Amino acid sequence: MQDLWLLKSGTSSIDQASMLARTLSPEVQSWKAVDGALVYLYATGIAPPVLASPEPAAKWLRLACLQEVQGASAGQAASHRYVVETDVLPGFEDDFNAWYTQEHLPGLAAVPGNVRAARYIDATGSPRYYACYDLVGAETLGSPQWLAVRATPWSSRVRPAFRNTRRTMFCLAGVVG
């Protein structure tokens, strides 16, 4: 399990995101939202990369890894990353974390087309929780197996406690390293 640094960018094109990623080190992956101008840059390492020409208000977030599960399609190349960001109502965090750890993340990782599933926490910000699913293709998200994992009684009990939630499908914009 490896912690990540995340930079959320409003860069509007894959070319601009890739140029920004090339100014960073160590290895940086850039993922562009399929529906919009949002770009997420991910880096590993003990300190965030230094921006050569930072965007206004650009700030790296440190995401501590809570859980990582190799997917049913481990070893294949991921062209898409589905990210769920959320906060949870006070008093529901224990159930939320148990659900993700015991049922939800392992269940989604086992779906064909899922390369890897991981959960992270931003201890100082909001949204606090991030779930990232590296997928062989966007169609994995709507597969019958994926939808079955989302439709459990435990899922139905936990989801109403989500707040400040964003779900985004990204496509790989570039890898630099």
For the chain, the structural domain boundaries read 4-176
* Closest among 40, 18, 15 to 175, alpha carbons compared: 18
pLDDT per residue, tens digit, the chain (177 aa), is 789 999 998 754 445 555 555 555 557 888 999 988 899 989 887 777 776 555 556 788 999 999 999 999 999 999 999 999 999 999 999 999 999 999 999 999 999 999 999 999 999 999 999 999 999 999 999 999 999 999 999 999 999 999 999 999 999 885 443
pLDDT of residue 140: 97
- What would the CATH number be for the domain defined by 4-176? 3.30.70.100
What element of type H or E holds 75?
none
The answer to whether the pTM exceeds 0.85 is yes
CA distance 129 to 44: 18
**End-to-end Cα distance, the chain:** 20
Backbone φ and ψ for 7, nearest 5 degrees, come out as -120, 120
Tokens (6 digits) for 151: 């439709």
pLDDT of residue 20: 55
CA distance 90 to 24: 37
pLDDT of residue 22: 54
Q: How many whole angstroms from its chain centre is CA 127?
A: 12
pLDDT of residue 138: 96
CA distance 88 to 172: 28
Whether the Cβ atoms of residue 82 and residue 141 lie closer than 8 Å to each other: yes
CA distance 34 to 38: 9
Could you read off the pLDDT of 137-150 as tens digits, one per residue? 999 999 999 999 99
**104 secondary structure, DSSP code:** I
